Amino acid sequence: MGLFDKAKDLARKNPGKVESALEKAGDAFDKRTGGKHAQHVDTAQQKAGEFLTGRTADAPEVPDAPDGTPTPDPDPSQHSRPPADGRPPA
């Protein structure tokens, strides 16, 4: 496992800390640019958070287990809609 993989794993286990760090970085950038690029910064913060934590902005946050074990991603084969290409899941 490479350094990047370790960082991403750590981010998935601590999504609140990731969101906080991204928010601080975005706020600092907005302050230095006078808010001129605020819309782009907000989008970048959202996309970075989704990438690092594996959670999307419109998905409800599911708490981790009491022992700190991350909640597994749902099984894609249990989705009610077929994949975008129209073929049934393998």
Q: What is the pLDDT of residue 25?
A: 92
Residue 17 has pLDDT above 90, yes or no: no
Q: What is the pLDDT of residue 81?
A: 57
- Name the residue among 27, 31, 65 with its Cα closest to residue 44: 27
Question: Domain-by-domain residue ranges, the chain?
Answer: 1-55
Percent of the chain clearing pLDDT 90 (strictly above) = 19
Residue 39 has pLDDT above 80, yes or no: yes
Residue 20 has pLDDT above 80, yes or no: yes
Q: What is the mean pLDDT of the chain?
A: 77
Q: What is the DSSP string of 16-59?
A: HHHHHHHHHHHHHHHHHHTTTTHHHHHHHHHHHHHHHHS--TTS
Q: Both ends of the chain: CA-CA distance in Å?
A: 28
Q: Taking residues 28-46, report their average pLDDT.
A: 91
